[in-house]
A and B are shown apart, each in its own frame.
Chain A
Amino acid sequence: MVARVQVPGNAKRGEIIDIRIAIQHKMETGFRFDLFGKPIPKNVVNEVVCRYNGAEIFRAELGSGIAANPYMQFSTIAEASGEIVFDWVDDAGERGTERASITVSA
């Protein structure tokens, strides 16, 4: 699973920063049928968690209604230098992780 995470490399303490993530995933809805008429089992990224230096700052529960290759954006406050780590899992149990580091100056 390919994913891209965008975090500003540098920020001032207290600054509001935008964090973006895009995950390559088919997001199979479970409502479709294959060429032989067999239902295609639902397989979507059902949970995305973002941690900033270990503390959870964002969590999303996704479902069938989300388009393929989900893209998310949210903001947080830059507090300290460190790592922003995304973890996610799909219905098939496949896990993914992607990280980005940020340097925060006073």
Chain B
Amino acid sequence: MLPRSLRHACALACLFVWTCTQIGPVFAADAERPSPLRSGIEFTSADVRSLQDDDFQNPGMLWVTRGEELWRVAAGKSGKSCADCHQRAETSMKGVAARYPVYDAAAGDVVNLEGRINLCRTHRQAAKPLVYESENMLALTTYVAHQSRGARVEGAVPTELRASFERGRERYRKRIGQMDLACTHCHQQNWGRTLLAQTISQGHGNAYPAYRLEWQSLGSLQRRLRACYFGVRAEMPPYQSPELLDLEVYLAWRGRGLTIETPGVRR
């Protein structure tokens, strides 16, 4: 008979091995994910929550309405609209946002939802790409992502995305800016604690594009990421730069299992 402490250690070791086999392929990075996972909405006040929950009061729904109109508008030399190929977004776009960003073999690069819309515009519609963060781009992205509301973020990291994922992971833990802070210092090590008047969230992207009260407007996840760069007084990478795309890949993995809330409402 083994001593009690040793038996406990054995049991714990068995439990650990069992857990590892249950989650499937685990990266060494798995311990970096916050536990339990909490969506940003849980860190906001009751008034923000009720604003998000009411589909009419939620200001982000205005962009969904606009996106629904744009979905049916023909664009470019092809004279085709999104609906001409994809028909009803309610069925064709359901769950799509949960899989993004993805690796696109044709483009040979990481593509997020905005990037996919522009690839569709240039390659299929023969139209000009939409300017990032323009009203029309936001409306279309929000409309498409809204179709996945309630779905769970998949956050898969296939082999082709592995390099991007690792770069994003590194970036997440690298100190930047005059404040000399990394993402991880707030959103991994100190979530749930207060910073001035606010509670630090876990920093997930599952509500984006989201309406931010601070912006008085709707914005993309990359705008939010750039706001964090600004917050730590670092140089903001341009929209669609590899740096931000890598972070998006890492964040999707980090927040996998969370429910998509687009259009979310945040402070």
Contacts and interface: CB of A to CB of B under 8 A. Distances in A.
Q: Chain B interface mostly helix, strand, loop or mixed?
A: helix
Contacts of B66: 2, 24
B57 A71 contact: yes
B56 interface: yes
Contacts of B217: 26, 68-69
Interface string A49-92: 00000000000000000011101000000000000000000000
Interface residues of B, number: 11
A22 interface: yes
A20 B56 CA distance: 8
Contact of B216 (A4, A22, A26): A26
A6 B217 CA distance: 21
Contacts, number: 35
B65 A69 contact: no
Interface string B204-232: 00000000000011000000000000000
Interface string A23-67: 010110000000000000000000000000000000000000001
A34 to B, nearest CB: 16
A67 B65 CA distance: 20
B236 to A, nearest CB: 14
B62 A2 contact: yes
Interface in B172-229: 216-217
Contacts of A71: 57, 59
Nearest to B139: A2
A65 to B, nearest CB: 13
B56 A69 contact: no
A27 B217 CA distance: 11
Interface in B55-78: 56-57, 59, 61-63, 65-66, 69
Interface of B: 56-57, 59, 61-63, 65-66, 69, 216-217
Interface of A: 2-4, 6, 20, 22, 24, 26-27, 67-69, 71
- In the A-B complex, the 5 residue pairs with the smallest Cβ-Cβ separation, listed nearest first, are A68-B216, A24-B62, A69-B59, A2-B66, A2-B62
